[in-house]
Amino acid sequence: MDRRQQKTREAIFHAFSTLLEKKSYNHITVQEILDTANIGRSTFYAHFETKDELLNAVCKELFGHIIDSAMDKTHIHGLYSNEEMPQSVFCHLLQHLQENDNNILGLLSCESSEIFLRYFKDSLNELVQTQFVNHNRKRNQDLPQEFLVNHISGSFVEMVLWWLKDKKNIHQKN
């Protein structure tokens, strides 16, 4: 993808995020995205076939960045140095959320948050599976893997929702 295409894609993502802060996903039209991004219809459709495809791309970029960096043991934000500590991965995720990378907090708390929370949880499931469940399988043989993954991911998502709702100033070290 060349620079022009990247800039256009960023403009579309930004326009979409801006609109999501104002109204629900189901009430956003492609025309509103075009107007906000200041692009033509053919330009939009050169990048995305549908609004749903745009949503999928936004979620993959947002959560992919956070999850991929949490899986990268060399990308530590100075928060931790012991890659064997499971909580370090969650500290890393919280660091990204606190930095509000790509307005992720706005999307997780907007009117259409359930869509983003589902994508977030799905992304977390993969991280939890690879970082925790697979590594600790000997200790957790009595519990089904799917249960453990769902429990850990769901608990983290609920904690983030609580944090957003109550605007708690939680530091990663807590």
pLDDT above 80: residue 65: no
To 10 degrees, the CA torsion angle through 95, 154, 24, 64? 50
pLDDT above 70: residue 22: yes
- Say yes or no: 119 and 159 in one domain: yes
pLDDT digits 0-9 by tens, 73-84: 555 555 444 555
Closest Cα partner for 152 from 132, 130, 172? 132
- Say yes or no: 20 and 74 in one domain: no
C-alpha 140 chain-centroid distance: 28
Distance, CA of 119 to CA of 134 (rounded, Å): 22
Residue where one domain finishes, among candidates 48, 69, 87: 48
- Say yes or no: 89 and 41 in one domain: no
Average pLDDT, whole number, for the chain? Answer: 81
- Say yes or no: 38 and 16 in one domain: yes
- Please state the domain count of the chain: 2
pLDDT digits 0-9 by tens, 84-138: 556 677 777 787 777 766 677 777 777 788 888 898 899 899 888 887 776 666 6
Distance, CA of 24 to CA of 55 (rounded, Å): 12
- Say yes or no: 76 and 44 in one domain: no
Domain ranges, residue 119: 55-174
